Structure 1
Amino acid sequence: MKWYFALLPLALVGGLLLNWQLSQPSHTRAWRADHSRLPEVTEAGGIYRVANIRNWDYATDGSVTRQEWIAAEIDPDRLVGTGFLVEPFGGHDAIAHTMLSFSFSDGASYIASIEARREVGEEYSAVKAAVLPIFEYLFVWTTERDMYLNSEFMSGDQLYLYPLDIPLDQQRAVLKAMLAETAEIQAQPRWYNTLFSNCTNVLARTVNKFAPDAVPFDKAWVLTGYAAEFLYEQGFFGTALTFHEARARAHISPLIREFHGIADPVAFSQAIRARRSGG
């Protein structure tokens, strides 16, 4: 019987792998309202049109007061800055959601967020998503105002925005890569996995597609709460501050509460940045 018990772990692993192979991801399920629309990306002459950008509004009690989906034309040549967003959750330093924010010369800012796409009544489970094909993932595109108010009032999480200090041509390459990945998901659904396809390592692999090894593998690819400190150590934030000081400066939750009454998403983003820059 000893051989039986020795083979049991291998059988379990084999069963899990077979389950992943046989299960097929899909875009057609009973999705939650905030995940109900898949962003659609088209490109013509270097200009990208992104449809189904979420621009919802939220009350301070976390209720949704408006469900609006918009389209925007995105010109990478008008990109003026990129921010790395961190939203810790779960009460543990190692756990966080990470996103990218792209700001443009007309004042508009849009967020790209890789998320486990959930069905109605479905709750996120990092443990289950590590071993079972239960969530697809999608690139969620939103206005900054939508995502910031969602984090502050609906999720009740703190939010940190770190400006990336990399050349603009590289930032534009990151933006194009994110848009290309969004279009690929639009064409072919993929499974979310806490270990291998999460909010952080999908971002890292997307960047490494056009700049190999630009983001070296690190524990932060899996323990996403350490992603900001990892990027700080790699020099992506370009600051002489200590990481503790940079993190304190990156904390934007108080500004979200201060400016949430600004209904226009462009004016909202401009107000946040003006205050952060001392304007």
Structure 2
Amino acid sequence: MNWRRLARALLAVPVFLVTAWGALALWFQLAPALALFLGAAWCLLGLAAVLVLARAPGWRHERKLLLAAALALLSMLGWWHSLAPSHERPWADDVARLLVSRVDGDRLELQNVRAFEWRTETDYTPRWETRRYDLARLESADLVLSYWMGPHIAHTLVSFGFSDGQRVVFSLEIRKERGEEFSAIGGFFRKFEQVIVAADERDLIRTRSNARSEQVYLYRLRATPTQLRSVLLEYLERAEALRRRPEFYNTLTSNCTTILFELARHIDPTLPLDYRLLASGHFAEYAYDHGALTPGLPYAVLRERGHINARARKAGPDAMDYSRAIRIGVPGIPASD
């Protein structure tokens, strides 16, 4: 067996993968015309290197070509590591402001709570508010999954309830610029920053169930007041960290589901990794299997009764009416809640 030839052939595989990665990085980071030009040059050089490695050695120019490919890779890596997240971009209206929180004992003040009135995805009335909460009244939390791309992918949110009727829902989202659209692939290539949004339920949940017609499911979480407070404060700490230092969104490692898993691990460090952290549409089932949802009923029943769309469409214009309506019949939630 020619071991040298085998080693060269095996080396061609990561060279091909790096070529594909660089082409996608250029596509998602640069203007289309420049991305096409530089991407074509990068791909030609990379594929030429793959062919040289895959064939038997001996071509007299192969060293020059491989050296050029290595220099191109170093340039690509230098450019990639120069990309930095920023707060200074022309943001879309719904992510234009960052959450600011102040905690003084049991008193919590949140600035820039989003309370948009959504008629459609593009027709809305912007509204940002300052709201105050009594942490001593924190009594419940609900897991919300909104399915926007088939049964395996969902956006995860957590809504906290207080005994005085107030609610605040948190969501980690991409921070889109004006005119940008979400791309799961782009999320691997530093296309977006991330932001934690705190909002009224008629904003963050209703826009998904009504304006976007996503399929939305709500589940009551099992947690003590101490655990609820811990998770809520962790959300605020993460939001403050992002406000002080922006970070890129990552489809795999830093998304709406992984942050919830990280926060839950502060309560139970033994929670295991699971494929359902990536296939986020199954995250509620993961939570059920680990005792985090209402006990005593099969998961299929919790899911069926937690589907809120029909109730959400019939809910009245008042925020409390909406919150009560979407919880009617959800297991673990008192009728008065």
The correspondence of residues 82-161 of structure 1 with structure 2, limited to 5 A, is 82-91=141-150, 93-130=151-188, 132-161=189-218
Task: List runs of 5+ in structure 1 lacking aligned partners.
Answer: none
Q: Any stretches of 5+ residues in structure 2 without a counterpart?
A: 23-72
Q: 1:181 to 1:74 in 2, by over 3 A?
A: farther
Is this contact kept in 2: 1:107–1:267, CA < 8 A?
A: no
- In the alignment, which residue of structure 1 is the partner of 2:59? none
Does the CA-based 8 Å contact 2:210-2:309 persist in structure 1?
no
Contact 1:148–1:256 at 8 Å: present in 2 too? no
- Going from structure 1 to structure 2, the CA distance change for 1:133 and 1:41 (only over 3 Å counts) comes to same
Aligned residue pairs: how many? 273
77 and 134 in structure 1: CA distance in 2 versus 1, 3 angstrom threshold: same
Q: 1:187 is matched with which residue: 244, 251, 264?
A: 244
- 1:150 maps to amino acid: T
Matches within 5 A, 1:22-61: 22-59=82-119, 61=120
Larger radius of gyration: 2
Residues 223/55 of structure 1: CA separation in 2 closer, same or farther (3 Å cut): same
The yes-or-no answer on 1:246 pairing with 2:302 is: yes
What is the CA distance between 1:217 and its match in structure 2?
A: 1.4
CA distance in 1, matches of 2:268, 2:79: 32
Residue aligning to 1:77 = 136
> Quick one: structure 1 residues 17 and 71, their matched pair in 2 at CA, closer, same or farther if it must change by over 3 Å?
farther
How far did residue 149 of structure 1 move?
Answer: 1.9
Instruction: Report the AA paired with residue 183 of structure 2.
Output: S
What residue in structure 1 maps to residue 314 of structure 2? 258
TM-score, structure 1 length as denominator?
0.89
TM-score of the superposition, structure 2-length normalised?
Answer: 0.75
Q: Which has the higher contact order (CA 8 A, sep 6+)?
A: 1
- Aligned-partner Cα distance in 1 for 2:106–2:236: 12
The separation in 2 between residues aligned to 1:252 and 1:6, in whole angstroms, is 48
Residue 312 of structure 2 contacts residue 325 of structure 2 at CA under 8 Å; is this kept in 1? no
Q: Is the Cα–Cα contact under 8 Å of residues 39 and 52 in structure 1 kept in the other structure?
A: yes
1:197 maps to 254
Deviates most, 73-82 or 188-197: 73-82
Alignment check: 8 A CA contact 2:142 2:218 kept: yes
Question: Paired residue for 2:224?
Answer: 167
More strand by share: 1
Write the deviation string for residues 31-52 of structure 1: whole angstroms up to 9, x where unpaired.
Answer: 1111111111122234221111
Does the 8 A contact of 2:305 with 2:329 survive in 1? no
Cα distance in 2 for partners of 1:275, 1:89 equals 24
Q: Per the alignment, in what secondary structure is the counterpart of residue 85 of structure 1? A: strand
Q: 1: CA distance between counterparts of 2:85 and 2:273?
A: 26
Q: Give the corresponding residue for 1:268.
A: 322
Q: Is the 8 A contact 2:143 2:220 kept in 1?
A: yes
Greater percentage in helix: 2
Q: Percent identity?
A: 30
